[in-house]
Amino acid sequence: MLLEVKNLGVYYYTLSGVVRGAENVSFSVKEGEWITFVGESGSGKSTVAHAVINLVPSPGKVVTGEVIFQGKNLLAMKPEELRRIRGKEISMVFQDPMTSLDPLRKVGDQIIEAMTVHGVDEDEARKRAKELLEKVNLPADRLDYYPHQLSGGQRQRISIAIAMAFNPKLLIADEPTTALDVIVQDAIMDLIDEMKAEGTSIYFVTHDISLAAERSDRIAVMYAGKLVEIGTTEQIIENPLHPYTRALVESVPDLWKESEVRAIPGYPPDLRNPPSGCRFHPRCAVFREKGELRGLCDVKEPEPVEVEPGHLVACHLYGGAGNE
């Protein structure tokens, strides 16, 4: 197993209270697979992605758990040791490349520096930077451009070029296509697919379950800081079990059929004071319809249950230890 996340919890200590950004999150990523985390904003999907690489922004803090990458706990590593892994064995691509690119420096210098900090000779890094640009379908003269001289899609290609520099074992891509139009989005997804073809495992984060369905081997669904369902793409799309996952799948319009697109009523909860029991219960249609679930879903938190090999769901409808 390339990555194992066990019982991860992240809290944000804000002036208005403690935000329980993620709790009891456990999953693994295999060598060479593409796993996508899906959920609305505030579901904790980006929080978990940042925690995996020990980059939770202040005032956030990892409060529980372990992140085992190639046998070592990243959360227990010294900063120098982590720096050696970040950018070399684990790369990250963010939604807004301007957050990772320095606006005052030419992109070529930034690609070269990403390699020289890991000990690559400058001439070698310059040569590799040109190859990387070619790989992400940008002309070599873009090395002399500043980030603001490039379009959003070109900047994202630069971020991916940097991420590709060392053929990392794992790429964490946090909503990398959200701000892009669909044509550019597809081109960026193709580049990420190329990284996967070269052996990189992909940890992708999106709010768009249809995007997740296109390329992922597995999908993990998060709601209100909890991992509520995980399985193969086929299991999640063809047989979604958790009422929230079902609602997400039903919220995708089908261009070829006259089907009813259903929005999910209500809003994600305030994680300073999340709902008791199952955090989805105030929005759950099944809970509203089935009177017998009162006193259970609104009181007791469901534990994840493996309903078929590799398909886990945390919902009282599926029984299991702690759920009856």
* Contact footprint for ligand SF4 (CB under 6 A): 242-243, 278, 280-281, 284, 286-287, 293, 297, 302, 315-317
CA 279, 285, 290: angle at the middle one, nearest 5? Answer: 100
Name which of 147 and 243 has its Cβ closer to ligand SF4.
243
Residue 12 C-beta: closest distance to ligand SF4, Å = 24
Any residues with CB less than 8 A from the CB of 322 and at least 6 apart, and which? 300, 302, 303
Residue 282 C-beta: closest distance to ligand SF4, Å = 8
What is the C-alpha separation between 301 and 151, in angstroms, rounded? 46
Name which of 21 and 302 has its Cβ closer to ligand SF4.
302
Residue 150 C-beta: closest distance to ligand SF4, Å = 44
Pairing of strands 90-93, 170-174: parallel
Name which of 43 and 200 has its Cβ closer to ligand SF4.
43
Residue 27 C-beta: closest distance to ligand SF4, Å = 19
Residue 249 C-beta: closest distance to ligand SF4, Å = 14
Name which of 147 and 277 has its Cβ closer to ligand SF4.
277
Any residues with CB less than 8 A from the CB of 166 and at least 6 apart, and which? 87, 88, 89, 91, 115, 118
Side by side, the strands of the sheet bearing 60-69 are 17-29, 3-14, 60-69, 72-73
Name which of 152 and 275 has its Cβ closer to ligand SF4.
275
Name which of 162 and 293 has its Cβ closer to ligand SF4.
293
**Residue indicated by tokens 């200590």:** 13
Residue 287 C-beta: closest distance to ligand SF4, Å = 4
Residue 305 C-beta: closest distance to ligand SF4, Å = 11
Residue burial 220-253, b: 16+ Cβ < 10 Å; e: rest: bbbbbbbbbbbbbbebbbeebbbbbbbbbbbebe
Name which of 198 and 306 has its Cβ closer to ligand SF4.
306
Helix (H) or strand (E) holding 184: helix 182-197
Label residue 137 left, alpha or beta by phi (over 0 means left) and psi (-120 to 50 means alpha): left
The residue type at 56: V
> Residue 86 in contact with residue 170, Cβ under 8 Å?
no
Q: What is the largest CA-CA distance in the chain?
A: 70
